[in-house]
A and B are shown apart, each in its own frame.
Chain A
Amino acid sequence: MRYLPLTDTDRGEMLQSIGASSIDDLFVDVPEVARLDGPIRDLPMHASEMAVEKHMRGLSKQNLAAADAAFFLGAGAYRHHVPASVDTIIQRGEFLTAYTPYQPEIAQGTLQMLFEFQTQVARLYGCAVANASMYDGSTACWEAVAMAGRVTKRNKAVLSGALHPHYTEVVKTMAKFTGDEIASSSPTVQAEPDNAGLIARIDDDTSCVVVQYPDILGRLPDLAEIAEAAHSKGALLIAVNTEPVALGAIQSPGELGADIVVGEGQAIGVGLQFGGPYLGLFAVRDKKHVRQMPGRLCGETIDADGRRGFVLTLSTREQHIRREKATSNICTNSGLCALAFSVHMTLLGEKGLRQLAAENHRLACLAADKLAAIPGVTVLNTSFFNEFTILLDGDARQIVRDLAQDDILAGVSLARLYPGVEGFSRGLLVAVTETTSEEDIETLCSALKEKLS
C-alpha cells in the first residue's frame, strides 16, 4: 500500500511501546454491534496505480470533452484558454498541500496571494473590499441575500427573472429555512431585460434586488437605473456576474451602483470540471459593510520586527468564534481556485483582460450575425457580451441532443434550464469565447441550417 509508510515491524514496535497487544485494543470503545470481522464487504481490495489509472481513464473516455467538439455552452460556466503556467503553479506542493493559513508566520505565500486576489476582485467589480472566496457563484448569491437582510433589517428579496435559475433555486431553498420572502419569476423572452417590471416590484419592505449582469439570456440590464430605484426605497442592489471576462469590456457593477457584487470566478483560471470546484466571488462597494460580510478576509499588518505581512482578520464574524451568531457557517472556501484565478488574472493584466474580452465579443458578434442569416433562426438580444439567445423554428433541446451526436455541443437550451416552462422550447443560449474557432462557428451554422431546412 503505497501511501502507508509504516512497516509491520514498525507497527509491532509501536504497539509494544504503548502497551497494546493488538490494534483491536485501540478500538475497544467501539460498541459490539458496530465491530466488523474484516474489511467492508462488496468493495474491491487495493489496486496499483496503473490499474486505477486505467479504470479512471475508461470513465473519462465515456465523456465528450469540450476540446473534441464544436463547443458553445455557457449559462454560468465558460470555457476559456487557461495558460499552462497556471496549472503548474497551483500544483506546487506548498500551495496545493497547505491548509487554511492559521499560522501566518509559515503561510505568507497563501496570505499574500489572497491579499492580491481580494484586490483584483475588488477592482474588477468596482468595489472597496472583496473576501477570500466562497464555494461558488450560486452560494455567494445566497450569502449576499442573507447579508442584505442583516444590513437593512428587512427580509424580502426581489430576484430578477433573468437570474440564473440554479441561483434562484439555491436562494429559494435557503430562504425556506430562514423564513425570508423571495419574490422571483421566469425571464421574459424578449430583446431587452424587463427593468421596469423589476423596479415595480421593489417596495419599502425590500431588502435587496438581485440582478444578473450580463443576465441569463446574455442581455445587459441597466444596473444604474435599478440601483437608483432600489436605493430610493432603502434596498440594496446585489449584482451577480457569472462571466468575469465580460468585465474587461463592460462597466463594473460597483461603478453602476451595486452595493454587493457577487459572482462565479470559474471562467478565469479554473476550467469547466463538470460544474465544480468553482470559485465564489464576493465584494462590497462600501467598506462600512465589511463587518457584515461572510467568509474569510485577509488583511495587511506588520510582524514583531516591523516587516510587512498578512493575516486572516476580522475573524469574529466567523463560525469558529461567533458560533451560532456567525455571519455564515462557511469554513473551507475555494482557496486553490482563488489562486488559479489570481495567477491567470496576473498573466492577463489589464491589457490582456481587455484583449481577451474584445476577442470574445468579436467572435460572439460574428457568430450572432452568421446565425441570424440562417432561415429559422432569430437572434433575440440587442445587447450581449459573449453569450446570446437564439430562437429556433424547432425544439431546441432535441436539436442540441441531435447535434451532440456529431460532436457539436450547440449550447444550453432554455428547456434544460427551465424544464416545463411554457414557451421556452425554441430558446437556445449560445456562448462564444476565444476558444471557439471561426470553423466551429461555420460547423454550427451549417448543422443548424441542415436541421432547420
Chain B
Amino acid sequence: MNAPNKSGWKPTMPAGTDGKFGGPATTTGNKALMLEEALIFEIGTTETTGVDLPDVDDSAPSRLGKFARTDEIGLPGLSEPQTVRHYTRLSRQNYGIDLGFFPLGSCTMKHNPRLNEKVARMPGFADVHPLQPVDTVRGALGVINELAQWLIKLTGMHGVAMSPKAGAHGELCGILCIRAALEARGNAREVVLVPESAHGTNPATAAFAGYRVENIPATEGGRVDLEALKARLGPDVAAVMITNPNTCGLFEPDMRAISDAVHEAGGFVYCDGANFNAIVGRVRPGDLGVDAMHINLHKTFSTPHGGGGPGSGPVVLSEALSPFGPLPYTARTADGVVHLVEEESAEEFAKEHFGGPLQHFGRMTAFHGQMGMYTRALTYMLSHGADGLKQVAEDAVLNANYILRAMEDVLHAPYADSGPCMHEALFGDAGFEGGLSTLDLAKGLIDEGFHPMTVYFPLVVHGAMLVEPTETESKAAIDQFITAFRSVAERAKAGDESLKAAPYYAPRSRLDETMAARKPHLGFIDPE
C-alpha cells in the first residue's frame, strides 16, 4: 500500500483548452452529464399526479359550508419518475460537502455522518407527535435531556434553553434572557456593545430586543480592545456580544478579563457560538465567564445545512440567567439532576428550584424545538465522545493554520503575524491587480472544483476571504485546495483578465443580480 497517490496520477485538461470548451452547440442545451431542467410549471400539468388516491366524489357529504374551493389553484403535478428525475437533475447543479471541499468560513461545513440520518428516521423519533401524552414519548424527552447534558458539560454552563430554531433565534433567546434578568433587577438598561466584525445577526438581534447597538473598538491585532471596552462600560450597558473565537478566526485572549469587567459593571456577556467548532471538547466557555451562548447544532454538531436550514440553536446559560430561559427548557439543579420544564410544571419548578415566582420570559416557538436535529446531534456526540470532540477542535485548528501558513506568502494575511489562528484563516485582497477582486478569485475557485470561502466577511478586512476547512478533510484534499488557491491567487495578483468572467465550467456563468433586484420576479407567471 503506497497511498496517498504514489503513482503520481494527475487529472489534466484536454490539450489546448484555454477558456471554454469549444465543442459544437447541442440542440438541448445539455452538455452530456450537465443537464438543463425546466420548471415544474413548464413540464407538469394540473391533471398529472404522482400519488394514487381515490377520485373525488362530488356528491359526498361536506362540512365545508360556503368555503368549499371551486377555482383552480394552478399547481402542476408530475408522475413519480418525472419527479425523481426533475429533482435529481436539479441536485446536480448544486455543490455540496459530499461533492468536495467547502471551506465556507463561519459556516462549519463538515461531513454530515449518515448514521445521524438513519437515527433521525427511527419511528420513535420521526413518527411521534409533539402533543402525545408524555408517557408515550419518554424516549424523545430522554433525547432532549441527554443532549442538554452534553451541551452543559461541553460548555461548563448551568442550564440550556433547547427550543430556539437556529443560530439567530438562539441569539434572540440569549438576549431576551439577559433583558428579562435585568428587568427583574429593575432596569433593562439601553445599550448592547457589538464588535464591528460581528455577524449581522448580532446587531439585528440586539435592535429587535429594544437595545441601541454600539461598536466595540478592536485592536490592530484583530481582538477586542479591552481598555477601550472597559472605558465604555457603565450602568447603561446591558450586554456585550462577543464571538469567540472571533470572526477573524482569532481567540480572544482577554476573554476572561472582558467577562469580569462586564460583570463588574452589572452587565452580561453573550457569546456568539457560531465558531464553537474551534474549541469544542477543549475549552469550556463557562470557564471564560460567558453568561449565554447559542450553539449551532448545524455547524459544530454536523446536522445537515440542507441548502439553508433547518438549523437548531440551543442556548447554554449561566446560573444567573438560567431561571429566565424560555419554555420548554432544561436546567441542572443542586442535586445534579437535569429537568425538562414545560408550561404546566414551570411554576412549580420555579418555586422549588429558583425559590421565586415564575421567571421564564415566555415561549419562542410552538412545541419543543428541533427534535430532528437533536437526534442527529446527539448521535454525532456519542460517536465522537469527549476524546473525539477534542480531536475535532484540534484537527479543525490544525487544518486552518496549515492553510494560513501555506498561503501567507501569496495572499495578504492581516493577522498572521499575531500568532496562530483558530479554525479559520483570514485573508484580504491587498495586492490584486487589474481591478480584480475577491469575488473574481472566488469564482476562479469554482472552476477549480471548490466551493469558495466566505467572501467580504468580516467587514473589517478589505476584500475579506475567510477559509474554514473543518476537521473532516484529508491532508490530500487540503493540499489540493492549497495548490488551486495559490494558483488562482497568483492570477489575481498578476491581473489575469480571464478571472473576470469566471466561472467558465459551472452550470451558469455569473448571474445578473442587479436585474433580479430591479425587477423582482419572485414566482412563475403563466404565459397568457
Any A–B CB pair closer than 8 Å: yes
A118–B104 CB distance below 8 A = no
A107–B130 CB distance below 8 A = no
Shortest Cβ gap from A424 to chain B (Å): 14
Given the complex of chains A and B, what is the CA–CA distance between A273 and B121 in angstroms? 9
Contact A108-B119, Cβ < 8 Å, known A62-B124, A251-B69: no
Binary B-proximity of A93-112 (CB < 8 A = 1, otherwise 0) = 11111111111111111101
B402–A17 CB distance below 8 A = yes
A97–B386 CB distance below 8 A = no
Tell me whether B21 is interfacial, beta carbon within 8 Å: no
List the B side residues contacting A318 at CB < 8 Å. 200
A window 31-67: CB within 8 A of B: 31, 33-36, 38-47, 49, 51-53, 55-67
A83–B128 CB distance below 8 A = no
Tell me whether B394 is interfacial, beta carbon within 8 Å: yes
Contact A43-B128, Cβ < 8 Å, known A108-B508, A113-B90, A116-B41: no
A252–B51 CB distance below 8 A = no
Contact A5-B472, Cβ < 8 Å, known A274-B128, A334-B309, A347-B80: yes
List the B side residues contacting A200 at CB < 8 Å. none
Given the complex of chains A and B, what is the CA–CA distance between A346 and B394 in angstroms? 45
Binary B-proximity of A56-89 (CB < 8 A = 1, otherwise 0) = 1111111111111001010111010001010111
A321: contacting residue among B200, B281, B397, B401, CB under 8 A: B200
List the A side residues contacting B304 at CB < 8 Å. 96-97, 336
Given the complex of chains A and B, what is the CA–CA distance between A123 and B73 in angstroms? 6
A250–B64 CB distance below 8 A = yes
A319: contacting residue among B53, B112, B204, B501, CB under 8 A: B204
A271: contacting residue among B93, B111, B127, B452, CB under 8 A: B127
Given the complex of chains A and B, what is the CA–CA distance between A136 and B365 in angstroms? 8
Binary A-proximity of B80-114 (CB < 8 A = 1, otherwise 0) = 10011011101111111111001010010111110
Residue of B nearest to A36 (CB): B282
Given the complex of chains A and B, what is the CA–CA distance between A409 and B136 in angstroms? 9
Interface size on A, residues (CB 8 A): 210
Interface size on B, residues (CB 8 A): 210
A319–B201 CB distance below 8 A = yes
A window 332-350: CB within 8 A of B: 332-337, 339, 343, 345-350
A window 281-315: CB within 8 A of B: 287, 290, 296-305, 307, 309-311, 313-315
B385–A43 CB distance below 8 A = yes
B512–A301 CB distance below 8 A = yes
B97–A276 CB distance below 8 A = no
Residue of A nearest to B206 (CB): A324
Tell me whether A196 is interfacial, beta carbon within 8 Å: no
B521–A299 CB distance below 8 A = yes
A301–B474 CB distance below 8 A = no
List the B side residues contacting A203 at CB < 8 Å. none
Given the complex of chains A and B, what is the CA–CA distance between A16 and B307 in angstroms? 37
Residue of B nearest to A96 (CB): B304
Contact A247-B69, Cβ < 8 Å, known A1-B391, A31-B256, A105-B507: yes
One of B10-18, B169-177, B428-436, B491-499 contacting the partner: B169-177
List the B side residues contacting A352 at CB < 8 Å. 49-51, 53, 77
Tell me whether A199 is interfacial, beta carbon within 8 Å: no
One of A20-28, A149-157, A226-234, A439-447 contacting the partner: A20-28
Tell me whether B56 is interfacial, beta carbon within 8 Å: yes
B95–A106 CB distance below 8 A = yes
List the B side residues contacting A311 at CB < 8 Å. 511, 513, 516
Given the complex of chains A and B, what is the CA–CA distance between A248 and B53 in angstroms? 14
Given the complex of chains A and B, what is the CA–CA distance between A364 and B62 in angstroms? 10
B window 372-403: CB within 8 A of A: 372-373, 375, 378-379, 382-392, 394-395, 397-399, 401-402
Tell me whether B356 is interfacial, beta carbon within 8 Å: no
Binary A-proximity of B14-29 (CB < 8 A = 1, otherwise 0) = 0000000000000001
A40–B386 CB distance below 8 A = yes
B284–A109 CB distance below 8 A = no
Q: Of residues B40, B56, B308, B472, which shows the largest number of chain A Cβ atoms within 10 Å of its Cβ?
A: B308
Tell me whether B410 is interfacial, beta carbon within 8 Å: no
Tell me whether B463 is interfacial, beta carbon within 8 Å: no
List the B side residues contacting A361 at CB < 8 Å. 60, 62-64
Residue of B nearest to A19 (CB): B405
B window 321-377: CB within 8 A of A: 326, 343-344, 361-373, 375
B132–A64 CB distance below 8 A = yes
Given the complex of chains A and B, what is the CA–CA distance between A115 and B525 in angstroms? 11
B251–A29 CB distance below 8 A = yes
Given the complex of chains A and B, what is the CA–CA distance between A412 and B166 in angstroms? 28
Tell me whether B33 is interfacial, beta carbon within 8 Å: no
B window 260-293: CB within 8 A of A: 279, 281-284, 287-288
Residue of B nearest to A331 (CB): B168
Tell me whether B253 is interfacial, beta carbon within 8 Å: yes
Q: Of residues A129, A178, A287, A355, which shows the largest number of chain B Cβ atoms within 10 Å of its Cβ?
A: A355
Tell me whether B225 is interfacial, beta carbon within 8 Å: no
List the B side residues contacting A335 at CB < 8 Å. 305-310
A173–B122 CB distance below 8 A = no
A89: contacting residue among B84, B142, B404, CB under 8 A: B84
Given the complex of chains A and B, what is the CA–CA distance between A33 and B288 in angstroms? 8
A220–B420 CB distance below 8 A = no
A339–B132 CB distance below 8 A = no
A112: contacting residue among B39, B45, B255, B366, CB under 8 A: B39
Q: Of residues A305, A319, A320, which shows the largest number of chain B Cβ atoms within 10 Å of its Cβ?
A: A319
A59–B143 CB distance below 8 A = yes
B397–A347 CB distance below 8 A = no
Residue of A nearest to B90 (CB): A109
Tell me whether B517 is interfacial, beta carbon within 8 Å: yes
A170: contacting residue among B48, B252, B364, CB under 8 A: B364
A53: contacting residue among B115, B138, B384, B404, CB under 8 A: B115
5 closest A-B pairs by CB: A349-B77, A336-B306, A62-B139, A173-B362, A275-B367
- Beyond A3-B113, A29-B252, 6 additional contacts (C-beta under 8 Å) are A27-B282, A63-B128, A119-B523, A120-B75, A301-B512, A358-B56
Task: Provide 17 A-B residue pairs closer than 8 Å at the C-beta atoms, listed in order of the A residue.
Answer: A26-B394, A34-B256, A40-B154, A83-B51, A98-B97, A123-B75, A166-B367, A272-B126, A274-B125, A276-B367, A301-B511, A318-B200, A329-B208, A332-B305, A349-B46, A365-B62, A404-B136
